[in-house]
Structure 1
Amino acid sequence: MFLGDVSKDPTEILLLLYEFEARAKLNDPEIENILEKVLKLQQIEPKTLETLASLAMESPAHFPSVCKKALKIALSLKKKQPNKDVIRCSKLLHSLIQISLPTGITEIEPRILEEVWSYYEEALIIIESLQEEYPEVEILWLMTRAWNTGASLYSLGKYTETEQWCGLGMRFLKHLGSLRANYESQMMGLYTEILDRMDREKKVLPIEE
C-alpha cells in the first residue's frame, strides 16, 4: 500500500489506514469517522486519500460518499501544489465522474447532474490552461461521457438537459488533438440532428394550461 509522503512518525496514519481497510472489508459504516480522523492529521498527502477512496469502493465495501469526499479533498490538495500534476488531476476527475454518474442508469437526478457538471467545468479549466499536459485519452473520455449523458437524457424526454450535455461534449471536442478529425464531422452531424429532433418534439408537446 503506497501512502505517499508522510511525516517522520507515520504510525498514526498507518494505524488509521489499517483500521479503515479492515472496516471497509467488513462493510462497516464506521469508516466515515476514520476518514474524518485522517483529515484532522497534519500534512495529509493526496495519495493517502486516494488509497482511502479506493478501499471505500473495493468489494465488498461500497461507500461512494466516503470515496467521493476523499477524492475531492485529494483533488483540492493536488490543485494547490506548486507544480500541478495534471495527469493525477485528470484521473481524480475521471474517478469522481465515474462514481457519481455510473453507466447504465435509467434515471438521473438533477442534483447529480449539477454535481457532475461541476467536475466537467473543473476539467475544462485545467484543459484550457494546461491543454498540452492533459491526456488526450481523458479528454476523449470526458467528451464521450458528456455526449452519452445527453443521449440518455434525450431518451428520458429531458430536452433542455440533452442540449446542455451534448453541447458540453462538443466543448471537449475542440480540445482534442490528433483524435479530433475522427469525431468532428460525425458529432457535428449528430448534434444538428438531435437539435432538429428536439425542435420537432417540442412542437408536438401539449401546451400546459
Structure 2
Amino acid sequence: MRSLRRAATGVYAALTAQVAALGALVLFEEVRGRRLAREIASFDGDPYAPGAREVVGAVTVFAVLMMIVVVTTLVAAATYLVWLRRARASSSATSVLAAWLLPGVNLIAPPLLADWAWQDAERRGRTRWLALLTTWWISWLVVLWILLVRLPGAEGLTGLGLTELAAIAFAALLCAVTVREITISHGRGPSSPAVTHFGTPLRQRGRVREQNP
C-alpha cells in the first residue's frame, strides 16, 4: 500500500509540473510568441537575414520551454503507468502499456483499467465514481481533439492559449482525483459488511440472538 501511495504522489507531482510548464509556455506565447512567429516568417528561414540574430534569444527560450513541456509530459505518463500497474496488480505491464499506446484501443481501454482497479477494492458509491471517471475521460478526449485538430494551423508558435491551458489543467486535475479515489479505496481494502455502532456485523448479531433468546 505504501508503494501505491508513493506512486500516486509521483503522479500528482508530475501532473503539477506538466501544467506549470505548459502555463509558462502559454505565457511566453501570449507575451512574445505570436510576434516571434511573424518575425521568423518574415526571415523566410534565412538565418542571415536582417534582424534574424535579434530573435535568437527568444527562439532559445521557446525551445527550452518546449523541451520542458515534452519532458514533464513524458514523466507524467510514465508515473501514471507505474501507479496504474501497482493499482491493477492482476494486469501485466504489457497490457497496461498496450491499453495506452495502441491506436484505437487507447480510446477505450484506459478508463476500463482504472475502473477495474477501483473495483478491486471498492464497491460502494459506484454511480459517483462512474460520473467522475466519465468526466475525466471526456476531458482527456477533448484535450486530444485540441492538440490534434484545433492547434495545427493556428496562429503563433504553438497556437496554445488560455482556453487550451484551462482544458488541459482541468483534465489533469480530474486525472489526479481519479488516482486519489483509487488509491484511497485500496487503502480501505474490500468493502466490509454492514456493522453496528458496537462494531459487530449485523448477521453475526442475529446469530447471537438466535443462540441466546
TM-score w.r.t. length of structure 1: 0.27
TM-score w.r.t. length of structure 2: 0.27
Higher helix share: 2
Q: Mark the structure with the bigger radius of gyration.
A: 2
